[in-house]
Chains A and B, each alone.
Chain A
């Protein structure tokens, strides 16, 4: 069985400051991990994915995530938040076959 936990349901940052969205996973085998973003009233968009290649993964819009096996973490970061980054973010882990397990989501708020 596998699961994914997003440690913060809400994160608030000021524009121009760093973003950190935390994700921990559990899996009985080497997982594939993803981050998706959902803007209000829009579908989900893939930000980045980890597939057992480089542990530091760069995604779109300046986001990146680091896979740390020893900590079973896959935290999402961005050096400088922009107002347009305000959205819901989901950490996702793959399981057997093509099935994905979604974390509970983190709502990122960006203050001017």
Chain B
């Protein structure tokens, strides 16, 4: 399965600032996914990032708040813009690896953001 590196692993940010999270995969993948996990909650898909096209956002998430870049098949970034305390979450990057009749998500270790 793919190996995913995310950074930063954690950060403390001030209200109103923006932070960019990087996700690096050790192999080329078509789709990369960004999830949010709010404190004590499950995972919610933010968007799907495809190389060469704009990201596809899920309901409740917009590009102005969560701009995504996908410059090549092994890298993506997610920016959390104009942060507020409600944005304090773990943000996870993931990729789909196929085989055996079902695609499986592999996750990075996550980026834990705390907004003061």
Contact = CB atoms under 8 A, between A and B. Distances in A.
Interface of A: 32, 34, 36, 41-46, 49-53, 90, 92, 94, 98-100, 102-105
Contacts of B106: 46
A42 B110 CA distance: 7
A20 B44 CA distance: 25
B40 to A, nearest CB: 9
A65 to B, nearest CB: 14
B42 A49 contact: no
The SS class assigned to the B binding surface is strand
A46 B96 CA distance: 12
Contacts, number: 52
Contacts of A46: 104-106
Interface residues of B, number: 22
Contact of A43 (B31, B41, B109): B109
Interface in B62-116: 92, 96, 100-110, 112
A98 B96 contact: yes
B19 interface: no
B31 to A, nearest CB: 6
B43 interface: yes
A52 B101 contact: yes
B45 interface: yes
Contacts of A44: 43, 92, 105, 107
B101 A90 contact: no
Of B44, B45, B100, B104, most buried by chain A (CB within 10 Å of CB) is: B104
